[in-house]
A and B are shown apart, each in its own frame.
Chain A
Amino acid sequence: MNILAIETTGAEASVAVINEKEEVFMETSDEKMNHLQNLMPMVDNLLQKRGMVIDDLDYIAVSEGPGSFTGIRIGVSTARALAQALSLPTIGVPTLQSFLYHVPEYRGIICPIFDARRNQVYGGAYRWSDTGQSEEVVPGGAYDLEELLEKLESQIMRPKEAKELTTPEKGEEITFFGDGILPYREQILKWQDSSLNDNIRVSFAEDDIMLQKASSVARLALVIYRDGGGKSLYDLKPVYMRKAEAERKLEEQTK
């Protein structure tokens, strides 16, 4: 059983294959923002390096968003067309949640944020439970950064959680990922310093794990597959988390 995973939602594109033994192999583009051009040759290279042929694939997984609208569409249309041509099922992988698989040993909260312009981020927060399950701390969405940080703070200050805060590194450490770090780093540090919750400690992901990676998309895809989450290509939808600008304006006018 092999799953091909496609990641094109950010500045760097990558593809990966994962098998049932959880072995992951990844191919990354060294060129930024040229996903349409590079994606298919990357898949070709990956398969060749692994000594595989396209018919060895059983599922086509794709990072479904949020992220760059264009990037999401390149990934989803590629995944769907491969599935259509090969008569295979697909797996839609939530992009934000996939960041948990960047740091499988990490005990803190991870908070991927993508710069969504208009002073917003696409973001969410997740952590590994004690039993190794992925847990959602703040659901993925388009947020003003303050709104996202408020939600994080309220989650950390939950009474149930407060007791556990005596154990250090239990969830009060938050590591931020994604290209949203770049414009919002200072604002996040300010929030840490001004927070009434002394237990909040912020850190930022190192460069090599800061952005989306197909290897993590593949790992989460395998989990979704095992939970029976494979689906027809016709049910594989992009997750934009935001309406088109023109549509939003039109709705405002007609309100």
Chain B
Amino acid sequence: MKDKNFITLGIESSCDETSAAVLREGRDVLSNVIASQIKVHQVFGGVVPEIASRHHLDNINTVIDSALSEAGITLKDVDLIGVTYGPGLVGALLIGLATAKSMAFALKKPLVGVHHIQGHICANYIEHKDLKPPFLALVVSGGHTNIIDVTDYNHYEVLGRTRDDAAGEAFDKVARVLGLGYPGGPLIDEAAKKGNAHAVEFKRVFLEKDSLDFSFSGIKTGVLNYLNTQRLKGEEVSVNDTAASFQLAVMEVIVAKAVMAAERMKKDKIVLAGGVAANSLLRKMLKEACDRKGFELYYPSPILCTDNAAMIGCAAYYKYQAGMEDDYYLDAYPNLAI
């Protein structure tokens, strides 16, 4: 491996963003091109897998071209290809995988498959050049809610996970019943800023004492019940108040469990990752909690919170540094465990 200017090409296509990125030395992002399909799926109120797959295929080659030209390199300069191999939509994953495998084969370059969630965590290495494991990671996104003990660049232990819906999923569903639209995360965040978070007391679901797991299907039902009750009583519902109260109920549980996990694992750093890491209330509450406990809090800028290939390239770099490499049999794993 060259010591200087080691170039990684990252490819991500696990859900509804087609992305390619070029990194120097694992953390230095030369380009990070993201073709989002949000507008395509908005009319369906959520991601349609077949349509997502079709758009990934339409976009992937030009996204890679843009990433290369923005970085001022050609494919021949690439030293490593990293690609998301799960979890995600299988039809979407395979576009990135088939592309990455073909390119690695044709260019005779090493190939590394990356776990999408590990990628989200690695987004923080890009944002914070001094950040090193060990730390506690909190990953909150449309598909995942995980508390993870990160002991090394390639060692992850899941301490807590959702038993039903992911936090982001609950946001999407509640946004739909509130008539806010899709995707729910940013829309609820916006509406909540104008609402009273204590207007409705939704139940906080902590599960068993000491459990680091989550459950968000109950609060979604709670919101529905509240809306129906109000409707039956003929009382007006404030969308902003409901959004704010729902959001606070979710975030209180997440923040409490993250802090509990950090204390239990004796970690003084908490790293936030995933699409919901862009949520302003989560950032504020977690920051306040970390300040109280004397923990350091890290989170990526919004663009690195969304699904992107730079984080995948970064994760691939650290796997490759540790001697991990995949062969051309690499497959897609929609339910890949961490």
Residues of A within 8 A of B (CB): 34, 36-41, 43-44, 54, 69-70, 73-74, 76-78, 80-82, 84-86, 233-234, 238, 240, 244-247, 250
> Is there contact, CB below 8 Å, between A81 and B51?
no
- Asked if B95 and A246 sit within 8 Å, CB to CB, the answer is no
Contact between A36 and B98, CB atoms less than 8 A apart: yes
Q: How far is the CA of A70 from the CA of B98 in the complex (A)?
A: 11
B95 touches A244 (CB 8 A): no
Whether the Cβ atoms of A80 and B99 lie closer than 8 Å is yes
- Whether B332 contacts A36 by the Cβ 8 Å rule is yes
Given contacts A70-B53, A85-B103, contact A38 B62 (CB under 8 A): no
Q: What are the residues of chain A within 8 A of B48 when measuring CB–CB? A: 244, 246-247
Q: How far is the CA of A159 from the CA of B91 in the complex (A)?
A: 48
Known A43-B105, A81-B98, A84-B103: A73·B57 in contact at CB below 8 Å: yes
Q: Does B137 contact A (CB under 8 A)?
A: no
Q: Are B51 and A77 interface neighbours, CB within 8 A?
A: no
B-side contacts of A84, CB under 8 Å = 61, 64-65, 75, 103
Which chain B residues (70-109) contact chain A, with CB distance < 8 Å?
75, 91, 94-95, 97-103, 105-107
| A81-B328 contact given A73-B57, A76-B57, CB 8 Å threshold | no
Residue on A with the closest CB to B331?
A37
Contact of A81 among B43, B91, B103 (CB under 8 A): B103
- Report yes or no: A36 in contact with B331, Cβ–Cβ below 8 A: yes
Contact of B53 with A69 in the complex, beta carbons under 8 Å: yes
Which residues of A have CB within 8 Å of B53?
Answer: 69-70, 73
Q: Do most interface residues of chain A lie in helix, strand or loop, or is the interface mixed?
A: helix
Instruction: Name the 10 nearest CB pairs between A and B, nearest first.
Output: A81-B102, A85-B106, A40-B328, A244-B50, A81-B99, A77-B98, A246-B48, A37-B331, A85-B103, A78-B98
Q: Which residues of chain A come closer than 8 Å to B60, judged between CB atoms? A: 77, 80
Contact of B105 among A44, A69, A245 (CB under 8 A): A44
Taken together as a complex, chains A and B put the C-alpha atoms of A218 and B60 apart, in Å, by 25
Q: What CA separation (Å) do A40 and B327 show in the bound complex?
A: 10
A85 to B81, CA, bound (A): 12
Task: Tell me, yes or no, whether B203 is within 8 Å of chain A by CB.
Answer: no
Is B61 in contact with A246, judged by CB distance below 8 angstroms? no
Is A82 in contact with B102, judged by CB distance below 8 angstroms?
A: yes
Instruction: Return the chain A residue nearest B78 by Cβ.
Output: A85
Contacts of B50 in A (CB 8 A): 69, 244-246
> Restricting to B42-68, which residues have a CB under 8 Å from any CB of A?
43-44, 48, 50-51, 53-54, 57, 60-62, 64-65
What's the minimum C-beta distance from A200 to chain B, rounded to whole angstroms? 37
B91→A54 contact, CB < 8 A? no
6 intermolecular pairs with C-beta atoms under 8 Å apart: A37-B329, A40-B328, A41-B328, A43-B105, A54-B106, A246-B50
Judging by beta carbons under 8 Å apart, are A40 and B61 in contact?
A: no
| Nearest B residue to A77, CB-CB | B98
Q: In the assembly, what is the distance between CA of A247 and CA of B328, in Å?
A: 34
Distance between Cα atoms of A39 and B102 in the complex (Å): 9
What are the residues of chain B within 8 A of A247 when measuring CB–CB?
48, 51
Min distance, Cβ A153 to any Cβ of chain B, angstroms: 34
Closest to B100 in A: A81
